[in-house]
Amino acid sequence: MLVYRLYKSAYITEPLSAEGARRAGGRWNPKGYPILYTSATPELALLEIVAHLNPAYIPDFHLLVLDIPDTYRTVSITDLPADWEAESHYETLQYHLKDWLLQPDVLTVSVPSSIVSRSRNYLLHTQYPGIQEEVTIMENAPFRIDSRLVAK
């Protein structure tokens, strides 16, 4: 199964690093847990990035295309609080996958996108045993973000 990740080109030497997520945390992980956020399509990966961009500065990005096993755990919207997309639920969602974050028994967990809830993001745990054998980089190419997508 192919998944897509946009990342800042400054990190070209470590495209599979989850250091940013480990340092800052994210919707699905608190600080200290290194997971890669990927998406089902390049378009969704772009939306996920644009939602967090500072319009005054758009860095260079690369699109990473990964081939991963098509076996994964799924988090359903029905498993989540009613307004789970709200920023106020970050803390709740950061610990929703606590067991997996502490002891990754599968490489990937599929979660709904908070931007397009019918679409899926795929979280890859970088401390999963066997990640090196199960993840293949299929493409790693520069990706231009059209400035019209970011408010001026």
3-class DSSP state of 110: strand
pLDDT digits (tens, 9 = 90+) for 72-97: 999 999 999 988 998 887 888 999 99
Domain ranges for the chain: 2-143
pTM of the model: 0.92
Alpha helices (H) in 82-123, listed in sequence order: 90-94, 98-102
CB 114 within 8 A of CB 85: yes
Edge-to-edge order in the sheet of strand 120-125: 73-74, 108-112, 120-125, 35-39, 2-8, 61-67, 136-143
pLDDT digits (tens, 9 = 90+) for 22-53: 999 999 999 999 999 999 999 999 999 988 88
| The token pair that represents 80 in the structure block | 């989540």
